[in-house]
A and B are shown apart, each in its own frame.
Chain A
Amino acid sequence: MRSKPAGSSMAVSLRRHFNYEERTALLFIAPVMSVLGLVAVFPIAYSFYLSFFSIKLTRPNRTPFVWFDNYLDLFRDELFWTAVLRTVSFTLMSVTAITVLALLVALLLNETFRGRRLVSTVLLIPWAIPYVADALMWKWIYDSGYGALNGLLYQLDFIDKYMVWLGDQKKTLPLIANAFVWKEVPLATILLLVSLKSIPQDLYQAARVDGAPLMQRFFHITLPSMRTGFMLVIIYETMMAIRHFDLFFILTEGGPGTASHVLSWEIYVETFRNLSFGSGAAMSYLLALVTFALAYFIIRTLGRSV
Chain B
Amino acid sequence: MKNGIGRAIGRREFLKASAAAGVAAFAMPAVKAFAAGGGVNFQTWSAAVDLVKSHAAAFEQATGLTVEYANSPWAQYRDAMVTKFVGAAPMDVMWVSDAWLPEWAEAGWISPIDEYESLMAYNSDAEAFCTDSMTYNGRQYGLTYYTDFMGFLYDADKLQEAGFSAPPSSWDEVVEQSLVMKEKGISDFPMMLAMAKESWLIEFMSAMVFSQGGRFTDDNGDSVMQDEKLGAQAALRWIVDAVNKHKIVSPGCVETGELSGLKAFASGNHAFALLPKYRLAMLNDPAQSQIAGRAKQALMPMGADGSHATVGWMRFHGMSAQAAADKARADNAAKLIEWFGGKSNGAYTFQKLLFLDIGAGFGVKPLFEDPAIREKYNSYADVEVIQQQQALARKKDVVTPWFGDWSETNGAAWQSAILGNISPADALRKSGEEWDELKSES
Q: Which residues of B contact A276 (CB under 8 A)?
A: 405
Q: Which residues of B contact A61 (CB under 8 A)?
A: 108
- Chain B residue with the shortest CB-CB distance to A143: B260
Q: Which residues of A contact B103 (CB under 8 A)?
A: 58
The verdict on A58 contacting B104 (CB below 8 Å), with A167-B254, A255-B197 known, is yes
Cα of A171 to Cα of B229 in the assembled complex, Å = 35
Q: Which residues of A contact B188 (CB under 8 A)?
A: 161-162
Q: Which residues of B contact A165 (CB under 8 A)?
A: 252, 255
Cα of A252 to Cα of B412 in the assembled complex, Å = 11
Contact with A57, one of B82, B196, B408, B419 (Cβ below 8 angstroms): B82
> CB-CB contacts of A143-170 with B at 8 A, as 1s and 0s?
1111000000000000001101111110
> What is the distance, in angstroms, from B191's C-beta to the closest C-beta of chain A?
13
Q: Which residues of B contact A142 (CB under 8 A)?
A: 255
Q: Are B106 and A58 in contact (CB under 8 A)?
A: yes
Q: Are A63 and B419 in contact (CB under 8 A)?
A: no
* Count of A interface residues, CB-CB < 8 Å: 41
> What is the distance, in angstroms, from A70's C-beta to the closest C-beta of chain B?
14
> CB-CB contacts of A164-186 with B at 8 A, as 1s and 0s?
11111100000000000000000
Within 8 A of A (CB), among B90-124: 103-104, 106-108
Cα of A146 to Cα of B264 in the assembled complex, Å = 8
Q: Is B289 close to A, CB under 8 A? A: no
Cα of A234 to Cα of B86 in the assembled complex, Å = 42
Residue of B11, B79, B198 with highest tally of chain A CB at under 10 A: B11
- Chain B residue with the shortest CB-CB distance to A276: B405
Within 8 A of B (CB), among A100-122: none
Q: Are A167 and B255 in contact (CB under 8 A)?
A: yes
Within 8 A of B (CB), among A50-69: 50, 53, 55, 57-61, 63-65
Q: Are A58 and B260 in contact (CB under 8 A)?
A: no
Q: Are B104 and A164 in contact (CB under 8 A)?
A: no
Q: Are A254 and B254 in contact (CB under 8 A)?
A: no
Q: Are A252 and B104 in contact (CB under 8 A)?
A: no
Q: Are B106 and A59 in contact (CB under 8 A)?
A: yes
Q: Is B267 close to A, CB under 8 A? A: yes
Q: Which residues of A contact B108 (CB under 8 A)?
A: 60-61
Chain B binder among A127-135, A198-206, A256-264: A256-264
> CB-CB contacts of A230-274 with B at 8 A, as 1s and 0s?
000000000000000000000011111110010000000100111
Q: Is A88 close to B, CB under 8 A? A: no
> What is the distance, in angstroms, from B322's C-beta to the closest C-beta of chain A?
13
> CB-CB contacts of B416-428 with A at 8 A, as 1s and 0s?
1011010000000
Q: Which residues of A contact B267 (CB under 8 A)?
A: 146
> CB-CB contacts of B1-32 with A at 8 A, as 1s and 0s?
00010011001101100000000000000000
Contact with A257, one of B15, B253, B421 (Cβ below 8 angstroms): B421
Q: Is A275 close to B, CB under 8 A? A: yes
Within 8 A of A (CB), among B113-161: none
The verdict on A145 contacting B254 (CB below 8 Å), with A60-B12, A65-B8, A257-B419 known, is no
Residue of A53, A161, A256, A273 with highest tally of chain B CB at under 10 A: A256
- Mostly, the A contact residues are loop
> What is the distance, in angstroms, from B116's C-beta to the closest C-beta of chain A?
26
Cα of A280 to Cα of B413 in the assembled complex, Å = 22
> What is the distance, in angstroms, from B240's C-beta to the closest C-beta of chain A?
13
Q: Are A144 and B250 in contact (CB under 8 A)?
A: yes
Q: Which residues of A contact B104 (CB under 8 A)?
A: 58
Q: Are A65 and B263 in contact (CB under 8 A)?
A: no
Q: Are B8 and A63 in contact (CB under 8 A)?
A: yes
Q: Are A273 and B408 in contact (CB under 8 A)?
A: yes
Cα of A276 to Cα of B401 in the assembled complex, Å = 12
Q: Which residues of B contact A144 (CB under 8 A)?
A: 250, 252, 255-256
Q: Is B411 close to A, CB under 8 A? A: yes
Q: Are A275 and B197 in contact (CB under 8 A)?
A: no
- Chain A residue with the shortest CB-CB distance to B253: A167
The verdict on A275 contacting B82 (CB below 8 Å), with A65-B7, A253-B196 known, is yes
Contact with B252, one of A79, A145, A254, A261 (Cβ below 8 angstroms): A145
Q: Which residues of B contact A64 (CB under 8 A)?
A: 4, 8
Q: Which residues of B contact A274 (CB under 8 A)?
A: 404-405, 408
> What is the distance, in angstroms, from B403's C-beta to the closest C-beta of chain A?
10
- Chain B residue with the shortest CB-CB distance to A161: B188
Q: Is B415 close to A, CB under 8 A? A: yes
The verdict on A164 contacting B412 (CB below 8 Å), with A57-B86, A145-B269, A169-B419 known, is no
Q: Is B306 close to A, CB under 8 A? A: no
Q: Are B412 and A166 in contact (CB under 8 A)?
A: no
Q: Are B412 and A255 in contact (CB under 8 A)?
A: yes
> What is the distance, in angstroms, from B6's C-beta to the closest C-beta of chain A?
10
Cα of A275 to Cα of B79 in the assembled complex, Å = 9
> What is the distance, in angstroms, from A251's C-beta to the closest C-beta of chain B?
8
Cα of A254 to Cα of B254 in the assembled complex, Å = 11
Q: Is B251 close to A, CB under 8 A? A: yes
Q: Are A58 and B419 in contact (CB under 8 A)?
A: no
- Chain B residue with the shortest CB-CB distance to A253: B197
Q: Assuming A57-B82, A64-B4, A256-B416, what are 11 further A-B pairs, CB within 8 angstroms?
A: A64-B8, A144-B255, A144-B256, A145-B260, A146-B263, A164-B255, A167-B251, A253-B196, A255-B415, A256-B254, A258-B416
Which residues of chain B have a CB within 8 Å of any CB of chain A?
4, 7-8, 11-12, 14-15, 79, 82, 86, 103-104, 106-108, 188, 196-198, 250-256, 260, 263-264, 267, 269, 401, 404-405, 408-409, 411-412, 415-416, 418-419, 421
Which residues of chain A have a CB within 8 Å of any CB of chain B?
46, 49-50, 53, 55, 57-61, 63-65, 79, 142-146, 161-162, 164-169, 252-258, 261, 269, 272-276
Interchain residue pairs A-B with the least CB separation, the first 9: A144-B252, A256-B254, A65-B4, A167-B255, A257-B416, A164-B252, A58-B103, A255-B197, A167-B252
